[in-house]
Structure 1
């Protein structure tokens, strides 16, 4: 008798136990999250190591060439306003440290002859978070302004008439494949107030500074290792229009299944005359 009473008591207590703990666990997690956010805001930023600062300066020196540097005002814009910057004979006298000291940002131009050891530079500009696994796999550093987006630079000999494209993963655009124009240079400030810095370990350029024959090899590499498919900009815009039409499609008349006036014959389906008469 006592055993049954104790079992009933335990089952009754166990019935209310999950709801009680679930409710209090949510409160605890929310309070803990607010506390951690408050501590993170009060925490002073971690100082960068001397090794990383020196390494970043070496990377800037590699890109500090007159025909690659385009000054950009340090405002909430990310595009040059100086005329003639995209012409083949572009040339700017000032060095990158001088531009940064004067309170300017700068662009690093892509697809220029002699950018680095006689070859050209391209960029994989990844807008989606969580893709630092790419530079980790290929043992190269990346450029970031602490906004979740990263830039990977690669070297190639000839663009083979390829143009800037868009990279897709599982049907969603996640990156810009840039082989023309330019990117914000290291040391420039993002509109969020944080500078573009070199992060990660390894070489400056993709795959231990490997020189690809054309950007197509990089596209094939992304597709083989990460299932990322690069589309041209015309393919990207046509794909976006198709998706938009599918989302906006509203038929004038609702499609309904045909409902016969009476049930079809069940036992006489093999009789063709009966079916045609029906």
Structure 2
């Protein structure tokens, strides 16, 4: 796997002159942030050696290099999920490649079901912590030399980046909430009993991604910041049937606000 990571990073370096320090992973319904990026180079996942291919509707499947405001960025327009049949090494492969490319800060986004009774559809939840409910751990197996065998996890989501996001949201009058994100394998949405159980565990939102990527980024020493868009509610008495199309619509409706926070944060990063 290490040889494949280095091979992929070498291919990318040979095909773009850009060397950004910031990367963004754009999840379900959130790929439109790519429209904010002045694209210099873009590559379809299928054309990149060793790269998985995104199979989920709403995930374009492109690796983008360009300018977001006054900063160079790398963006994954579409991510990979365990429920697609990939193993965790494949799901987190792009993050390992990011490390080889010199990425220092990673922004992640996702669509999630809200379980906190104070949440409403369309809320932007700043992720303060997570619960890993995936059946396979992304660091299982021989330890990669990017980090220790037993990584400390007390601050997976960078506190300074969280403070920056809070300040920006307040300045711009954007409503944000905060909470713990729980990751399951999917692809089914949760039953009412599962929503109740996860909230009892201490989770405020639940989804099917993000945590494996964040764990590997943390293992690599990459600072991480994440936002969940609350696209449906798993609150007792408010649970209704949900579809992937509805999740996409809810995410698209609030995407400009998330894009504004991301854009300003990228601008302010040293």
Interval containing the TM-score (normalised by the shorter chain): under 0.3
User: Highest relative contact order (Cα 8 Å, sep 6+), 1 or 2?
Assistant: 2
Please say which structure displays the higher CA radius of gyration: 1
TM-score by length of 1: 0.24
Structure with greater strand share of residues: 2
TM-score (norm 2): 0.25
